Structure 1
Amino acid sequence: MNEMWLWLEENQGILAMYAVRFAIGLAILLGGFILSGIISRSMIKRLDKSKIDNAVVSFLAGIVRAIIVAAAIMMALSHVGIQTTSFIAILGAMGLAIGLSLQGSLANFASGVLIMIYRPFKSGDYVEAGGVAGTVIGIELFTTILKTPDSKKVVVPNSQITSNPITNYSEHPTRRVDMVIGVSYSADLKKTKEVLMGVLNDDPRVLKEPEPRVSVNELADSSVNFIVRPWVNSEDYWPFYWDTMENIKLKLDEAGIGIPFPQMDVHLHQGGSDEGPLRIASTVSPSAGSDADKQHANHG
Structure 2
Amino acid sequence: MFKDFDIKRAFEKILDKLYGWGEDILLATPNFLLAIVVFVLFWYAGKYFGHFIKKVLLKKVGQESIKAILARTAFIVTVLVGFFTALAILDLDKVLTSVLAGAGVVGLAIGLALQGTLHNTFSGFILSFLPNIQIGDWIVTNNHEGRVIDINLRSVTIMEADNNAVVIPNSKIIDAPFKNFTGTKRSRITISCGVGYESDLELVKKVTTKAIAELFKQEKNEEIEFFYTAFGDSSINYLIRFWTPIKDRKDILDAQSKGIMAIKAAYNANNINIPFPIRTLDFGKNKFRAETLHIKNME
Q: TM-score, normalised by structure 1?
A: 0.63
Out of 148, 156, 164, the residue aligned to residue 152 of structure 1 is: 164
Residue 58 (1) aligns with residue 71 (2) = yes
Whichever residue aligns with residue 108 of structure 1, its letter is: N
Seq. identity, %: 28
State how 1:241-280 maps to structure 2 within 5 Å. Answer: 241-267=256-282, 268=284, 270-271=286-287, 274-275=290-291
Which shows bigger deviation, 268-277 or 145-154?
Answer: 268-277
For 2:272 and 2:262, locate their aligned partners in 1 and report how far apart those are by CA, in whole Å. 13
Closer/same/farther in 2, CA of residues 47 and 265 from structure 1, 3 Å limit: same
Closer/same/farther in 2, CA of residues 63 and 113 from structure 1, 3 Å limit: farther
Residue 131 (1) aligns with residue 143 (2) = yes
Report the secondary structure of 1:177's partner residue.
Answer: strand
Report the secondary structure of 2:182's partner residue.
Answer: coil
Closer/same/farther in 2, CA of residues 196 and 90 from structure 1, 3 Å limit: same
Whichever residue aligns with residue 193 of structure 2, its letter is: I
Which shows bigger deviation, 240-249 or 252-261?
Answer: 252-261
Aligned length: 242
Is the CA contact (8 Å cut-off) linking 2:212 and 2:263 kept in structure 1?
Answer: no
For 1:247 and 1:81, locate their aligned partners in 2 and report how far apart those are by CA, in whole Å. 82
Is the CA contact (8 Å cut-off) linking 1:270 and 1:276 kept in structure 2?
Answer: no
- Cα distance, 1:242 vs. partner? 1.0
For 2:157 and 2:265, locate their aligned partners in 1 and report how far apart those are by CA, in whole Å. 41
- Aligned CA RMSD, in angstroms, stands at 4.1
Name the counterpart of 1:14. Answer: none
Is the CA contact (8 Å cut-off) linking 1:128 and 1:168 kept in structure 2?
Answer: yes
Whichever residue aligns with residue 267 of structure 2, its letter is: L
Residue 219 (1) aligns with residue 231 (2) = yes
Is the CA contact (8 Å cut-off) linking 1:129 and 1:166 kept in structure 2?
Answer: yes
Whichever residue aligns with residue 56 of structure 1, its letter is: I
Query: Which segments of 5 or more consecutive residues in structure 1 lack a partner in the other structure?
Result: 1-32, 279-300
Offset from partner CA, 1:187-213 (integer Å, 9 cap, x none): 21111112211211221x432431222
Out of 142, 165, 175, the residue aligned to residue 163 of structure 1 is: 175
For 1:277 and 1:184, locate their aligned partners in 2 and report how far apart those are by CA, in whole Å. 43
For 1:261 and 1:63, locate their aligned partners in 2 and report how far apart those are by CA, in whole Å. 70
Closer/same/farther in 2, CA of residues 66 and 131 from structure 1, 3 Å limit: farther
More helix by share: 2
Closer/same/farther in 2, CA of residues 127 and 49 from structure 1, 3 Å limit: closer
Is the CA contact (8 Å cut-off) linking 2:189 and 2:242 kept in structure 1?
Answer: yes
Which structure has the larger Rg over C-alpha atoms?
2
Report the secondary structure of 2:281's partner residue.
Answer: strand
For 1:158 and 1:167, locate their aligned partners in 2 and report how far apart those are by CA, in whole Å. 15
Q: TM-score, normalised by structure 2?
A: 0.63
